[in-house]
Structure 1
Amino acid sequence: MSEKDRGFDLRDIGREMRREFDRIRADYQRAFGQNEVGQDADATEAVGGPSDGALVHDLPHGVRERIARLKDLVERQNTLLTRFTTPPLLFAVVIDVRRREKDEDSTAVILFNGRPIEVLLPTVVKAELVPGDVVKVSPRTYQIVDVVEPMTIGSVATVKRVIDPRLVEVRSGSNESVVLSGRFGEKIEQGSRVVLDSSNSIVVCNLGMGDESFLFSGETNISWDDIGGLDEPKQQLREALELPYQHPDLFAYYSYKVPSGFLIFGPPGCGKTLLSKAIVTSIRNTHDAASTSTAFIYVKGPEVLSKFVGVAEELIRQLFDMGRAHKRKHGYPAVLCIDECEALLNARGSGRSSDVDRTIVPTFLAEMDGLDDKSVIVVLLTNRPDMLDEAVVRDGRVDVKVEIPRPTKEDASNIFRIHSAGVPLHKVTQDEIIAFAVEELFSDKHALYEIQRKSGTPTQFTLGHMASGAMIKGVVERSKSLALQRDRKAGSKTGVTAEDVRIAVKEKLIENIHLAPVGSVIKFTEDFQEDVLKIKTLKQVRA
């Protein structure tokens, strides 16, 4: 690194100047003797050089280089002193540009420390200066010196209402205010997320419509037909999402109003999330593909929660604002799907959560009550409907409540058929392997509980009675894994056998011996609850 690049410390430069000066004096003494050098003033004169320059030319070459270096150090010192003593420039935001007939009379209104200041408009920046620009100003006169790139740092707010091209009403947490739209006047919409300047007076950046991380714009490739069973919930969702646009005259004839809220509940793994994926495909098949990127908003309840007060409430408002913006732009309602909604909409006063439910639930209810124009269809998914606040699921807000039951033998057959499609089989047809799998799943030999009854004959609670679509898919996948491992060792390609399915079901039984939910057993006994004498687990039966 060269000496010029060693830094800008004035102390280092001063020390180096003294060393160079001492070396010059020593060189003078060696070259001319003490009398020639004279006092310090003579050496100083040598540094500056006499008027005719004769003395400098008589110096040895090394001394001339030291004098040149000393001059360079003095220049660097003067440069640094100038920089250190120059007052710093301040940053301000332009909120208005007032152009007049005479250019010299044009002014700009800048915002500095929350105070509006009107200054003359410099000629150098007059052409490009617009409201919202960030400028450097003199600390003495506040005159504009230069225009800089906008700094997109500050508070984030959501646009509640566009008043006019210059003013917007924004909301940040529980606070609302009117601010200037700056350079984004024509681009800001209701529901847009914007960044405000340090004084929260003007928009300096437009982040767009809501948090796009909750927008599902991909393909799921899951249709209604890909879901085994669940005929009733599929039909009810189709009535809300598809049929009003396929048969508008018929719906108008009966004045049928599409429900604004759905509650889909049931045991884990029985198809609730799969239904949400089918909703995406349904929207894409019903409407123009170009308009569907904002039509499905998917969020999980825990994702909304925050340790900071007001953040969850603000996000709920943003989600509904995104749906309303979609309706205004494309003419049909967006679907807001909230999975695991019990984490977000817990019953108030239940003692199962902190005090956040006192503000989150009312915020959600207020947004639901504002859906008279059916701009958002809310779909709530949960396996704990008992934990939801009663005000959330009452009629008028959530009109359709659909329970997703565990699959019956018929449903299990349909689900096995869907997941076994294309699977190579060995010495058995697909119908035969499906019938065998269902029989194994619901067989008494795979019982988890024995329910002893007063009437005498015990009833078996089998693996099939706690089965789900996810479990059935797992049986198919495990069967394929067993066949694959066997063929890999033998170097052949045979296919899945009935024995593979039997082993897969047996393994599922072993996995679930200690996981059988008591709630499923109680629900299983609802039809003969008064006849129940005692419930024994599988270990007790085998003992």
Structure 2
Amino acid sequence: MPTEQEVIEQLKAALTEATEKLKEQDKILKDLAEPPGMLARLTNIIPKDATHPERLIIDERLFVLRPKNLEKVRLEIGDYLHVEKSTIGSVALIDKIELPPQPMAVMKVAEITDQGRIMLEAGDTVIPLHKNPLKGVEIGDRLVVGGPSPFLAIAIENLGKAEKHYQFNDELNINWNDVGGQAHAKAMLREAIEYPIIHADLYKSLGKKPIKGVLLEGPPGCGKTLLAKAAAGAIAKLHKSANELSGYIYIKGPEVLSKWVGEAEGTIRNLFNMARAHRQKHGYPAVVFIDECESLLSRRGTGISSDMDKTIVPAFLAELDGLNDSGAMVILATNRPDRLDPAVVREGRIDRRIRVERPNQTDSAQIFELYLKKVPTCKAPKEVASLAAEHLFSPATGLVTLRTADGDTFPFTLGHVASGAMLAGIVDRSTSLVLHEALAVSGTKRKAVMEMPLTGDHVIRATGEVHQSMLKVDHSDDIRAWAEARKTKIVGVAAYA
């Protein structure tokens, strides 16, 4: 049995708990008795006149008066206001609320009026920018805008001019002879872009239209970009144009993607608008080259990129279908053609698929020679290139040993994973070896070393450095491609001895 004192303590605790609960209920009742507050948008301002004070219209239907605390505050249409509604139905304005605008879309500045009003592109028309807190906005800039509607858009961020991101700015003096090897790819590409110009009369008599696009598919670093540059230069020269740079528009697929709604589609439209403008100005088609296109034009419905391809692919196809009279030659490049949407590569769109293979020994010798000719101290580039290519495919650069289903063994060498980029890197390493030899001595000896020619020994040593680094790389995809090309089955892969 509890003592009398314990009973008293228990009663005190229960009374305290009940008192706290009553206070909570009392607060709830008081809150419910307060006039309800709500967020409203200012949709119109009626200035005061002889008989009426200034009236503010909120949500297009309610009138409120400006309170004293907002007499010196600038109110504009589109502002958000805190209002309270009384029990008898009247509405009182309490305060202005500064809500950060939520990003809505990316829009291009089409015009800036004499009064400084910014006009934005909206399809075939223009709409005024409601607020612009940004400085230095120019015509052509892309603005991230937000707000309750496009007609009350507020500038949030200036992304600059799109052309800065995808117009190629290097000297474009590449011709077909600058592309080492790739005889088949060059022949196919030349037929696709040169025949409609050289044999225009035959095309006309046959009712044949120039193709709209070409897909270059193959491993990275094997010359797809170089082929596209050569194509642009060839088109310009066939039209006797000195301004070859203007005919080449280059962008990587991932650069088109954006977190902003409509930005990627807008970039695609800008690419083709630039091509059309080039056609009108120079009289011949531009080359629009999209590298790593699988990231941009992937098969729809796969769930990749949050299904952004549902809008990007149709935007690209609409522009491609709108190319009349060869307004542009579209060249896509990828090492994953299996990921492309079938609608992109069907006949009548990108209807030429050209395989860009890894260089064989003969091609490698040509590529080595092209790069060695640019090294002043290489006195015999053709001989050094031939020696370098032979060494590249020799057992000395073996990576693994393959065993086929027929029981044969085959040394899989560095040459079987070679690319133009790798060969350029080997030549660069060769010049570094000569440089290190010169730095190891001083005075007249250094001058003598610098005058020594870059030899086959330098290239072979540089190839050895690349070989050592490639021993640690997984070559499963290249081995699979090698086996498929030779229609053989690999049953074993062993470390090269």
Q: Normalising by structure 2, what TM-score?
A: 0.65
Distance 1:199 1:489 in 2: 70
1:489 equivalent in structure 2: 440
* 1:150 matches 2:115: yes
| Contact persistence 2:251–2:290 (CA under 8 A) | yes
Please give the alpha-carbon distance, in whole angstroms, between the structure 1 residues aligned to 2:413 and 2:305. Answer: 35
1-side partners of 2:366 and 2:342: how far apart?
Answer: 35
For the 8 Å contact 2:173–2:244, the answer to whether it is kept is no
Alpha-carbon contact 2:298-2:340 (below 8 Å) kept: yes
1:457 paired to 2:415: no
The equivalent residue for 1:331 is 283
Deviation digits for residues 83-103 of structure 1 (CA, Å, limit 9, x no counterpart): xx9999x9xxxxxxxxxxxxx
- C-alpha contact 2:236 2:284 (8 A) present in aligned 1: no
- How many matched pairs? 367
Would the aligned equivalents of 2:171 and 2:245 in 1 still touch at CA under 8 Å? no
What one-letter code is carried by the residue in structure 1 that aligns with 2:191? E
1:241 positional shift = 3.5
Structure 1, residues 337-382: CA drift from partner, whole Å, max 9, x if none?
1111111111112233312111111211222222243222211011
Structure with higher Rg: it is 1
- Taking a change above 3 Å as real, the CA distance of residues 220 and 516 of structure 1, as seen in their structure-2 partners, is farther
Matched, 1:480 2:431: yes
- Please say if residues 172 and 245 of structure 2, whose CA atoms lie closer than 8 Å, have aligned partners that are also in contact: no
Q: In the alignment, which residue of structure 2 is the partner of 1:120? A: none
Q: Deviations over 1:209-254 (max 9, x none)?
A: 9735433365232211011112233233333444433443344344
Which residue, out of 360, 380, 384, partners 2:336?
Answer: 384
Q: 1-side partners of 2:416 and 2:372: how far apart?
A: 21
Could you list the structure 1 runs, at least 4 aligned residues long, displaced by more than 6 angstroms after superposition: 85-88, 191-196
Residue of structure 2 equivalent to 1:373: 325
Distance 2:112 2:341 in 1: 48
More helix, by proportion: 1
SS of structure 2 residue aligned to 1:297: strand
SS at match of 2:250: strand
Query: Retained in 1: the 8 A contact 2:196–2:203?
Result: yes
Unaligned runs of 5+ in 1: 1-84, 91-131, 135-148, 158-169, 181-190, 202-207
Q: Does 1:398 align with 2:350?
A: yes
Kindly indicate whether residue 483 of structure 2 is the aligned counterpart of residue 525 of structure 1.
yes
In structure 2, what is the equivalent of residue 535 of structure 1?
A: 493
Does residue 244 of the first structure (1) align with residue 207 of the second (2)? no
The equivalent residue for 1:418 is 370
Contact kept, 8 Å, 2:294 with 2:337, in 1: the verdict is: yes
- Determine helix, strand or coil for the equivalent of 1:309: coil
Counting only pairs closer than 5 Å after superposition, residues 230-309 of structure 1 correspond to structure 2 as: 230-287=182-239, 289=241, 294-309=246-261
Give the deviation of 1:200 after TM superposition.
8.2
Aligned residue identity for 2:363:
D
Letter aligned with residue 482 of structure 1: L
Partner of 1:311: 263
Q: Which of residues 392, 407, 422 is equivalent to 1:471?
A: 422
Change (3 A) 1:286 1:452: same
Give the Cα separation in 2 of the matches to 1:210 and 1:423.
37
Residue-by-residue CA offset, 1:487-539 (whole Å, 9 max, x unaligned): 33241221223321221111011111122432111011125555422122x3x
Matching residue of 2:459: 501
Q: Taking CA–CA contacts closer than 8 Å with sequence separation of 6 or more, which of the two structures ends up with the larger relative contact order?
A: 2
Q: Is the 8 A contact 1:296 1:337 kept in 2?
A: yes
Structure 1 counterpart of 2:395: 444
Secondary structure at 1:392's aligned position in 2? coil
CA contact (8 A) 2:393 2:416 kept: yes
Q: 1:381 to 1:527 in 2, by over 3 A?
A: closer
Query: How much has 1:272 moved relative to structure 2?
Result: 0.9
CA change 1:200–1:327 in 2 (3 A) is farther
Which residue number in structure 2 is paired with residue 221 of structure 1?
A: 173
- For residues 256-275 of structure 1, the C-alpha deviation after alignment (integer angstroms, 9 at most, x for no partner) is 42110100011111001112
Distance in 1 of aligned mates of 2:318 and 2:470:
43
C-alpha spacing 1:305/1:248, structure 2 compared with 1 (3 Å): same
Cα distance change, pair 86–469 in 1 and its aligned pair in 2 (3 A): closer
> Which amino acid in structure 2 is aligned with residue 418 of structure 1?
L
The SS at the match of 2:386 is helix
Percent of residue pairs bearing the same amino acid type: 40
How far has the Cα of 1:301 moved from its partner? 0.9
**One-letter code aligned to 2:472:** H
Cα distance in 2 between the residues matched to 1:87 and 1:483: 73
Deviation, 1:478, is 1.1
Residues 282 and 153 (structure 1 numbering): CA distance in 2 closer, same or farther, change over 3 Å?
same
Deviation at 1:456, TM superposition (A): 2.8
| Aligned-partner Cα distance in 1 for 2:490–2:188 | 36
Given the superposition, is the C-alpha separation of residues 399 and 483 from structure 1 closer, same or farther in structure 2, using an over 3 Å criterion? Answer: same
How many Å apart are 1:401 and its aligned residue?
0.5
Distance 2:300 2:324 in 1: 25
> What's the CA shift for 1:333?
2.2
